[in-house]
Amino acid sequence: MPPAVPIPSNSSTSRLEHMLASFEEASRQRFGGRRDSGHGPTLPGITTASTTPPVHSFAQSVSSSFRPRVIRGPTTPTDGQPSSVGTRPSISPTRLRAGSHLSNRPQASVSALPNAVRAGLPTFTPPAYLANALMANLFHGGPPPPQAIVPNSRVAPDPQQIISDSEDSSHGHSGLSSRRRYRMQIPRNFTSWPTALPIPTQWSETDKHNHLIVSSNGKEVTFSGHSGTSETGSAAAIRAECSIPAACGVYYYEVKILDRGYRGQISVGFATKELHVSKLPGWEAGSWGYHGDDGLAFGGQPRPGSEFGPHFSTDDVIGCGINFLDHNAFFTKNGTLIGSVFSDIPDRDVYPAIGLRSSNEHIRANFGDSPFLFDIDAHVSRIKLKAWKDVQSHTTILSRSQPQASHYDISSVDVSKREHSDDGLARAARDQQEGLRGAMADLVMDYLVFQGYAKTAREFRSQLLDRVSKKPETPAKTDPAMDVDELPLSIAVRLRLDSMEHRTRAVNAVRNGDIDLALSIMQSHFPASLTHDEGLLRFKLQCQQFVELSLEAQEVKRRSDKEHEPPEVDAAKSGSVPTDGAFAMDLDDDEHVVPSSPASRGYVVWANGNSGSSVAKGKGRPNARRRSSASRTGGRSQSRNRGESGSLLSPISPSAMEEDKIQVIRYVERVVEYGMQFRKEWESDTRPFVKEQLRRTFGLVAYDNPRTDQRSKDLVSEEARLQLADEANRVILLSTVNEPMPLIERMYRHSNTTMQALGAIEVGAGAFMDVSRILEDFV
């Protein structure tokens, strides 16, 4: 720590310069030297970048606490005791229902296992169209996961353990830990979230009829046997090496007919393991194929096939797609869509499959290694858009809660697709039937209160109550005499309304950089917020306070430098007595005294305010006071100048300059003193985040211009204040009503989690339901 320099009783420019220099030097040595240049931005609000690894994927975080597990059937003893993992009582633990058809699934396919990502995989970039899927980041080409890894442990991890794990590892950001806690509630008895989803990249070397020969790259297949004679006998089929994850939403591959062979009896399509390799895809249950010799589509029965498309033969390129949303298949020929067919393709265990039947038949598959002939991207985009619109226009929200219930009991149903969703009346009928408005209003109310938009919350509430009471059909039960303000409020909302004003004040104080005010409000109204997460918020606020003080000091110094330049600067630097015209001014005693007195008075007030407490508690804004006194001074001397001589004299007297210097010293002093206290308090904290942040914050004084310096820009930006303000808000709510985020945000995240959970259980329906779409087209 730089030694505390006693406040000089007489101003001395040389001492000032010396002190500034030594302090800057000291901090440079202390903090600057240790910093490597590669530090990422570490905003106070969203720290952890370099200290605590942020959890980008749920899979990562889960894999540390969850063993990869497989969904178990009803025969497995389930540990279905209710576990109140979360603090929200409404979120019940997940339990697999007995009788779920999931139980019939081969275990290996339940989810990709972490070790499915192996070193040395052939490099395969999943084709672009797959990027439309929510879980696209998990797709990788490669061999199937090892078969049926049975977990050793049949007992789900103790949820309490999980929570504490997550909290232990998330020091440094309380928001993160609460988010994580929310996520941790989900997968109990659910399944492990997949960490990787293999997609087919080549034909299986083993899962095939022995008349078929697969090329060494796994793409080409040749029929080497004798041409079959009977109608259904002697065919040969092959499946790809792994099944298609339904999370693709749409899967597509193309087959080029290199040689139609003797009879061109080629079937392209899809099959489950049910298809025997001696049958063409389409002839047996669990297989779907489009046949080249007759253009028929077969959906699991040898006959009759259905008229589907043109025949295909040598040099044709046939594309085969599955739409897991509608459970149908579509085929293309030479880049043109033929159409859709079938309606019973399951979500799971479906493999690309082809069948050959006569000698010399030879095909090559393109699993996305090279560009497709068909514009699959556009096709997927259309499907995606339609899926979104279907959900939006066919989902009706019902709310059937009892009047006394504390929560909405919301469910959704599909309205018949026959109803024209564009018909105004039909839509209005849906609106009528729906229980959407009440819940929406309460979501918005919750949000306004959460974020502390006090004025809006009041306006909204009064308009809302107005509307509720005006409702023509309000049941007569409501006592008309009842004051609208007496209407029942949910407890959570009431709690937050009560403290909202204080909270808003505290948050606004942070936003304006008045950390002292924020801390004192929080101390008196939300003490828990200052001890929450081992005082992390308090630490961050104090960091910010240091930042504010440093900036102020720097600002004062800069202004002081500026006011006295250019000759004054030189003078100040050398410490010699200024010799410019200002000094020659005819000054009387009055002028010597007056300019300095208001400023020093200002300082005394400020210093008194601090006596007995740390410098940090100082409430003064000496900045403002100084400025006003300086302008007063300037004005006075100017008028005097004009009156007396009207000469070229500088309006700034040397004593004003001195006074500025004292100011600068005092500001720097304050920073140093505050810094010492601050450091003392936190240096024993072992959390990496705290250490790092402490270092970064103190490093600030080493930079000439922290606002532009790359290393400190993020610390001093306006954005940093705003983020800290948001965090303060969140922590206050979290520590008082245990509410880490507004319900709307929760709903947003919940939707996303739900969709990915669908992918995790291999259901394709939610594959394209990207919740962020609701934000599109905002003007």
Partner 1 sequence: MNEAKISKRDLNRIVLDYLILEGYQSAAESFAEEAAHDLPTNAAQQVENANIESRVQIREAVERGDIQTAIEMCNDLDPEILETHPALHFHLLTQSLIELIREGRTAEALTFARAHLAPRAERNEEFLKELESVMCLLVYGATPTGAKGKEQTGNSKKSVEINAPQSLLDLLSMQHRSLTASELNDALLSSMSLGGPRREPRLAGLMRLCFWGERVLDSHGIDFPRLTIPKGEGAGLDSSQSEAAKESK
- Alpha-carbon distance of 318 to 311, in angstroms, equals 10
Dihedral in degrees, nearest 10, Cα atoms 433, 437, 439, 445? -170
Name the E strands within 563-716.
none
- Alpha-carbon distance of 513 to 718, in angstroms, equals 9
Task: Give the nearer residue to partner 1 in terms of CB position, either 159 or 319.
Answer: 159
Which residues touch 326 (CB under 8 Å, ≥6 apart)?
A: 340, 343
Task: Give the nearer residue to partner 1 in terms of CB position, either 36 or 777.
Answer: 777
Nearest to 68 by CA among 167, 145, 172, 161: 145
- The number of CA neighbours under 13 Å toward the Cβ of 31 is 22
Task: Give the nearer residue to partner 1 in terms of CB position, either 462 or 638.
Answer: 462
Taking the complex as a whole, the smallest distance from the CB of residue 702 to partner 1 amounts, in Å, to 31
Taking the complex as a whole, the smallest distance from the CB of residue 184 to partner 1 amounts, in Å, to 11
- Alpha-carbon distance of 84 to 424, in angstroms, equals 45
Dihedral in degrees, nearest 10, Cα atoms 707, 710, 711, 712? 20
Task: Give the nearer residue to partner 1 in terms of CB position, either 247 or 701.
Answer: 247
The residue type of 554 is Q
Tokens of 26: 């000291």
Task: Give the nearer residue to partner 1 in terms of CB position, either 33 or 74.
Answer: 74
Nearest to 41 by CA among 702, 728, 696: 696
Which DSSP letter does residue 109 get? G
Taking the complex as a whole, the smallest distance from the CB of residue 469 to partner 1 amounts, in Å, to 8
The residue type of 540 is K
Task: Give the nearer residue to partner 1 in terms of CB position, either 10 or 778.
Answer: 778
Task: Give the nearer residue to partner 1 in terms of CB position, either 119 or 779.
Answer: 779
Which DSSP letter does residue 86 get? S
Taking the complex as a whole, the smallest distance from the CB of residue 96 to partner 1 amounts, in Å, to 7
Taking the complex as a whole, the smallest distance from the CB of residue 401 to partner 1 amounts, in Å, to 7
Taking the complex as a whole, the smallest distance from the CB of residue 47 to partner 1 amounts, in Å, to 16
Q: β-strand 267-271 against 287-291: which pairing, if any?
A: antiparallel
Helix or strand or coil: residue 726? Answer: helix
- Alpha-carbon distance of 169 to 762, in angstroms, equals 30
- Alpha-carbon distance of 444 to 31, in angstroms, equals 46
Nearest to 664 by CA among 626, 703, 707: 626
Nearest to 230 by CA among 259, 269, 265, 261: 265
Task: Give the nearer residue to partner 1 in terms of CB position, either 55 or 235.
Answer: 55
Taking the complex as a whole, the smallest distance from the CB of residue 101 to partner 1 amounts, in Å, to 7
Whether residue 166 contacts residue 176, with contact meaning beta carbons closer than 8 Å, is answered with: no
Taking the complex as a whole, the smallest distance from the CB of residue 183 to partner 1 amounts, in Å, to 8
Task: Give the nearer residue to partner 1 in terms of CB position, either 69 or 208.
Answer: 69
Taking the complex as a whole, the smallest distance from the CB of residue 2 to partner 1 amounts, in Å, to 37
Task: Give the nearer residue to partner 1 in terms of CB position, either 119 or 778.
Answer: 778
Task: Give the nearer residue to partner 1 in terms of CB position, either 378 or 440.
Answer: 440
Taking the complex as a whole, the smallest distance from the CB of residue 732 to partner 1 amounts, in Å, to 16
Taking the complex as a whole, the smallest distance from the CB of residue 554 to partner 1 amounts, in Å, to 25
- Alpha-carbon distance of 138 to 198, in angstroms, equals 8
Q: Please give the angle made by the CA atoms of 586, 590 and 591, to the nearest 5 degrees.
A: 55
Taking the complex as a whole, the smallest distance from the CB of residue 578 to partner 1 amounts, in Å, to 44
Helix or strand or coil: residue 391? Answer: helix
Task: Give the nearer residue to partner 1 in terms of CB position, either 98 or 285.
Answer: 98
